[in-house]
Structures are given as C-alpha cells and as structure tokens.
Amino acid sequence: MGEFTIKMPDVGEGVAEAELVEWHVKPGDPVREDMVLAAVMTDKATVEIPSPVTGTVLWLGAEIGDTVAVKAPLVRIEVAGEGGELSATAMPETVIIETVEEQSPVAKVASPPPVEIKKAVQAAPVAWVQTPAEKPLASPAVRLRAQESGIDLRQVPGTGPAGRITHDDLDQFLARGTQPSVTPAGLARKTAVEEIKVTGLRRRISEKMVLATSRIPHITYVEEIDVTDLEDLRTTMNGSRKPDQTKLTILPFLMRALVKTVAEQPGVNATFDDDAGIITRHGAVHIGIATQTPAGLTVPVVRHAEARGIWDCAAELVRLAEAARTGSALREELSGSTITITSLGAMGGIATTPIINHPEVAIVGVNKIMTRPVWDGSQFIPRKMMNLSSSFDHRVVDGWDAATFVQRIKTLLETPALIFIES
C-alpha cells in the first residue's frame, strides 16, 4: 500500500490561495477516481477538486473556512501500489461559478478576519421561572432554606441577576402559598446560542459590501414613478406575445430606459479606479441584475443591452437568473457590469438605499408597485405608482446629474412609447 498526497491546485489568473468552503469526504471514507473531494472558493469562482486516484482518505489538511495556499497538501489518500503527489499545475475540470468577479484592476483592501455571527440571547425578564430541566440559580443559604421549607426552587420566580432566586423571592412565594407558578404554554425561556462562521460566498458578499461602503460616498435619490400606462402596455404586449417569447416584467422596460438615458449621460455608465484616479466611461451598457440565489446574492450581467430589444432583454434576464440560481453561470456572465439594477419584486418596500456594486458609480433600485390615489387637478384617481431608489458615487456623480438621470428615466417610464422611439 502507498500514500498519495493531493495538493491545492493552481486555479489560474494569478490566484495564490483559496478558501476551503466544503468537504465531501472525511478520514476513513473510500474514494474513487474523479470523485469530488472538496470545493474551494477564490474571488472569481468556486472550484471542485476531484480525486485522481482510488483509495481511502487518511488525512484532511484544512478545515472549512481556512485559506489554503496553492501547492499546500490538502488530502492524503491510501492507495494500492506506490504513492505519489498530484501536480499542482493543472486546473480541475469541474468549475462552478457562484460569486462575482472583481470588475476592475483596483487594488483590493485587506480582507477582514473571519467574522462570527451570534444570535443575541433574549434579555432576562423581571422574574424568571425555571423550567424542569434547568438547575435553579440560588445561593447555598437560599437552597438550604427552600429544602427545609419543602419548596421546589424550580417553581420559584427569580428576580435577581440572570434569574437568581433571593430570600425575598422565597418570602413572596411562601406568602402566596406553595402553588406552583403557571407558565403559559409555549412561553418557556430559550437560552440556545448558535454560532455561524462566515465562509464562502457569504464572506465574499460581506467583503464586497465593506469595500463599497468604505470607499464610496453614496448619495441616494428617490423618485416616484407613475407606471400605470407602462403596466397597461406590458399587459397588452404579454397578451399578444409569441409562444417562444418570455413573459415581460417591468425590468426589460427599465433596461431599455437605462440604455437611452446613459446615452445622454455617459458619466453614469462608468467605473472608477479610485487608486489610479481614473474614471472609465463605457460605450457598451452591461447591466448587472442583482439576483438572490440559494447560495447568496449574485449579479449576473446582461451584456450589450444597448443592442437588445425588449423581448431579447427579457429572455436574457430569465436565462441568466436561472443559471445563477443553479450555479451554472459562466465566469464572464458574472462580471464586467457597468451599471446595476436591484429589485426585490413585490417585497420591494416603499424605498431602499441600494449599495453600489464597486467599482461602478451607479445602481438603480426598483421598489414595489402600489395603487394609490393621485390628484389630477380636479379629483383623486387610482394610479399605479412605484418608487425608484438610485444610489450614486458622489465623487463622480454630482447631485444635479443624479437627479437629471432619474428624471429622464421617469419620463421614459411614464410615457413608455418614448422607449421605442429610436434617436
């Protein structure tokens, strides 16, 4: 029998280390050739590491959440015959993209240490009643007095720190008789504490949010949009769509409105390398669509929206959202956006304060549509209203330009025929 050592592979693009996010085996497990052993995550992708041999796992070289350097020993497997090592130069065949690639050569700030999230323990009420499984908190003198009086301390409400039972608590209990306190069903105290280590995609999201909020001075502009006519048009178009056409939501219309607006205000369709002090204005309109997936938030990108019509935008949105949710999106489909749309759909609330997708300089947030009474000059009439909450990098976009940008989108959405008029 021999021993085979699998080292952390070189995942390419100058990546020197990766975070271990999942083990598929444990010591003692039998493995076969091509069986997935582990998954590691870089800033760009989640990579599955397969076994090149058949054998039994002897040793694992890291724990979930650890950062592993390229060529560091990762797994040792007992094999029949002579052992060996896996070359750390080849990229594993299976690559699943689950996170957003950094979109600019901006130098990354130092990553914060892993963060532990703890659920807060509910504050103690004024008087506590011990549950049958708990040992009551009390001093030896109080315990002796309770024993001599034939009192079960679990039935005595404690008013001291952390529910500690005092002599006064015993006096009050004796004064009202030794009938046990009645605790309403379902109101027993809960003292469980859960600790969750932040790893994988959740850590990447955390780092991106810290980067954006620490380096970008946000200005958020909220405007009310009357989308009654747009909703009527959308309903009509969906009613006459072809069998192979995707059902329209409001997003394809917003995308086309963005395309027309950034043609007039190219400074909003830009990225900012704040280390080099360079603003890059993009002719192409690559729209990132913030998408919630089982693994966390990702931003698939509809590339060249300026060359797509309404139906094409709708079809690409559906395709990318499905790819993101199933983890099958390609690397280029999750990077390179020049402006982002974020929407919570029917849960969108009245207003939000979106965080810019660094290194972009603008993000447009869609809030839910609600029917509200609107004064038309002589009476109140029901109209379908929606707020747009848009954030801008105030180093690059002035407040006046931000307002002009949103007002132009408002005009296009409130008069949707303008979206289809080519300049």
- CB neighbour burial string for 31-56, b if at least 16 within 10 angstroms, e if fewer: beeeebbbbbbbbbbbbbbbbbbebe
Catalytic machinery residues:
394, 398
Residue 379 near residue 326, CB atoms below 8 Å: no
CA distance 15 to 278: 25
CA distance 358 to 216: 8
Name the residue type at position 196.
Answer: I
Tokens of 266: 């190219």
Distance, C-alpha 255 to centroid of its chain = 22
Distance, C-alpha 343 to centroid of its chain = 13
Question: Which backbone phi and psi does 45 adopt, to 5 degrees?
Answer: -160, 160
Distance, C-alpha 241 to centroid of its chain = 34
Tokens of 334: 């999750």
Q: How far is CA 215 from CA 107, 108, 208, 274, 392, in A?
A: 12, 11, 11, 9, 13
